[in-house]
Amino acid sequence: MIIGNLTIIRPLECGDEELLYRWWNDGGLMEHAGLAFGTLQSKEAIKNIVNREIVKEELFPKDKRFIICKKDNLAPIGEINYCGLDLKNEKCEFGIKICEINEQGKGYGKDALYHFINFIFKSFNINKIELTTLIDNRKAQGLYRKLGFKPIGIIREAFFDSRNEMFQDVLYMDILRKEWKEKYI
């Protein structure tokens, strides 16, 4: 487990499909990702995703999802993952979401993300962490900038947004290991 000041990040467990089913199919919650109707995945499909994740035997799989819990009572409040772990080019991406709306804006996302990034840089021999976010997701971009991520480009019309049935630009950001060390270590 990754232990932060406010959060604990744990691997997926049997039963987490209940959380993910509720979170992923909530159009209001998933709207920032351009999924105005949620993912429309069945509980069984999500259970299969969780089961596949649980049985991965590699120590460092290419993609791995975790649950963010409040440290004080271990209540699950969100999810975080790394993906596209590329050891040859020394990079990966991540995603984060505080899924319990009443827990947003309380510092849990920043705490979880700080400790997760620290975990990634310390656990993998990577040079940078990348991310993409819809151009209008200013709240997430603010958090990423606070942690040291820099905008490095815009990918034009990269994502179909079901909120308005249009293609949206995506902001591409990254942070280098040396920048992380300069800021936090």
pLDDT confidence band for 166 (50 / 70 / 90): confident
Residue 134 above 80 pLDDT?
yes
**pLDDT tens profile 62-118:** 999 999 999 999 999 999 999 999 999 999 999 999 999 999 999 999 999 999 999
What is the reported pTM? 0.91
What is the side-by-side strand order in the sheet with 91-98? 2-3, 7-11, 64-70, 76-86, 91-98, 128-134, 166-176, 150-161
The CATH architecture annotation of domain 2-131 reads: 3-Layer(aba) Sandwich (3.40)
**pLDDT tens profile 39-64:** 888 999 999 999 999 988 888 889 99
